Amino acid sequence: MTKSHEKTKLSVVSTDGRPANADSRSEVCQKCFGSGMEIIAGKGARQCECQKQLSPNNPFGKVRVPRRYSDCHFNSYEPTNPSQTQAVRFAMKFTQEFPAVDQGLLLTGPVGVGKTHLAVSILKGLTERGGFSCLFYEFGSLLKEIQDSYNAFTHTSELGVLSPVLNVDVLVLDELGASKPTDWVKDTMAHIINTRYNDRKHTIFTTNYLDERQANEETLEDRIGIRQRSRLFEMCKTIDIKGADYRKTKYARPIN
């Protein structure tokens, strides 16, 4: 999760990883409202940041981060407790020291504590450093794209969707465990995790599911299986982030 943003579906992409049609994105930019031009009071109009993100000359455009997270960066994350401060520190350390790091990160915690915010910040930091391939996927959206590739009328293939996911230097897989764990979902997840594990690729996972059972709630192991959870212990350093739901605190307003 991000501290300031909600989830958004990804658009269908072309084989080079860019959106096949920018209008197909499910979210309208709140700065330009889809016009591509942002009005600056007293100054006129300028190209909106959302268009710069989609520009082929902008390397971050190929990372596929949904527009809703375009403002996420380390300097906009505001920790409110020690666990969040620690999470920022580990995320920045990974960004600064990559590729000389042994593990990726598994960011766990309830909704609204900034997991996705930090994951996107890592991708932005690495892209700004340059020289590394990075990719963002919300797990449910990735599954949907793979399923769509089975349709004979689409212009994508399962290999075309999975190849960058398996081979990119740093992958963010957001909302791990959120999709209903059917056999197909488990097999697909296992293929991604096992391939990146065997190839020693670095992966950043976010999930709302914890290792310790809370009341009657499912654990991460319940959602992804004991074998994949074991792999993640070796692949990633687990960072448990605590706190209240940032969106609820910021946006919930009583009706008078």
- What would the pLDDT profile of 7-35 be if each residue is shown by its tens digit? 333 333 333 333 333 333 335 666 666 65
pLDDT at 190: 95
Average pLDDT (198-204) is: 97
Distance, in Å, from the CA atom of 70 to the CA atom of 128, rounded to the nearest integer, reads 14
Average pLDDT (87-109) is: 97
- Spell out the domain ranges in the chain: 61-251
pLDDT at 223: 94
| Token representation of residue 170 | 């740093």
Q: What end-to-end distance do the CA atoms of the chain give, in Å?
A: 30
Distance, in Å, from the CA atom of 42 to the CA atom of 64, rounded to the nearest integer, reads 33
The share of the chain scoring above pLDDT 90, in percent, equals 62
Nearest to 145 by CA among 129, 132, 156: 156
Average pLDDT (152-181) is: 90
pLDDT at 61: 82
pLDDT at 159: 87
Nearest to 223 by CA among 208, 236, 238: 208
Q: Domain 61-251 maps to which CATH number in 3.10.450.50, 1.20.1290.10, 3.40.50.300, 3.30.413.10? A: 3.40.50.300
Among 76-90, 135-149, 153-167, 224-238, the range scoring the smallest mean pLDDT is 153-167
SS3 of 223-245: the string is: HHCHHHHHHHHHHEEEEECCCCC
For residue 239, pLDDT beyond 80: yes
Candidate ranges 10-24, 38-52, 210-224; pick with highest mean pLDDT: 210-224
**Greatest CA separation for the chain:** 59
DSSP string computed for 91-110: HHHHHHHTTS-S-EEEEE-S
> pLDDT (tens digit, 9 = 90+) per residue, 223-233?
999 999 999 99
Q: Are 117 and 70 in contact (CB under 8 A)?
A: no
Average pLDDT (202-212) is: 96
Average pLDDT (99-107) is: 97
